[in-house]
Chain A
């Protein structure tokens, strides 16, 4: 099994729908992150969590919410999806930023 698992891998949804992207990890890391990737913009941080009770907004959190259900699980929700949220979403974990991130395989989300 992968160290960081994201589900679903691909999703097409309609404008206005609520959607949840899930992430689970077996690394035992406390730190978990959600990023989105857009062509020409690189990776931008949506939310991050240093433990179950510590959740913080990143640089582009508007329109998103998260839930840290356990040390190993960190979910990202789009309450009312809009087309400009079409992107590739990555979950990542780290022990400490010094060690770099372990990324999931990504979720390709299309909002039509």
Chain B
């Protein structure tokens, strides 16, 4: 069975600090996809990134970076020089390909960036 664990339920940082959101997953599939979504206080869910299981390259997009490590089944998300606008709930998700393509979400990590 698939499982996504986001052990950090809430994190508070002071603006300009770096912060890493952890995501650990479990799956029996050799091919799978990992995602991060952002839910700002306004409530909508915004897609941030997808990573497939064959691509272990780290990804950087501006202040955001993602570290995918199959050896530890982790897909961690780092925000560099955090800003107040980064305050949101962040969800990690795991999808299996084929058939129903079940997507399993973690419970989310609430990030508060304090000015």
Contacts and interface: CB of A to CB of B under 8 A. Distances in A.
Contacts, number: 52
B110 to A, nearest CB: 10
Contacts of A64: none
A42 B103 contact: no
Interface stretch (B11-19, B40-48, B62-70, B72-80): B40-48
Interface of A: 40-45, 48, 56, 88, 90, 92, 96-106, 108
Nearest to B36: A100
B50 A99 contact: yes
A40 to B, nearest CB: 6
Given A43-B105, A56-B100, A101-B103, A90 B52 contact: no
Contact of B44 (A48, A99, A106): A106
20 contacts: A42-B91, A45-B102, A56-B100, A92-B45, A96-B101, A98-B33, A98-B52, A99-B50, A100-B33, A100-B37, A100-B47, A100-B50, A101-B37, A101-B45, A103-B45, A104-B44, A106-B43, A106-B44, A106-B45, A108-B43
A44 B46 CA distance: 17
A44 B107 CA distance: 10
A42 B43 contact: no
List 7 tightest A-B contacts by C-beta distance, closest first. A97-B101, A103-B45, A42-B107, A43-B105, A42-B105, A97-B95, A100-B47
Given A90-B45, A98-B50, A103-B45, A41 B101 contact: no
Contacts of B44: 103-106
Given A97-B97, A100-B33, A100-B50, 10 more contacts: A42-B105, A42-B107, A43-B91, A56-B100, A92-B45, A101-B37, A101-B45, A102-B47, A103-B46, A106-B44
A14 B95 CA distance: 36
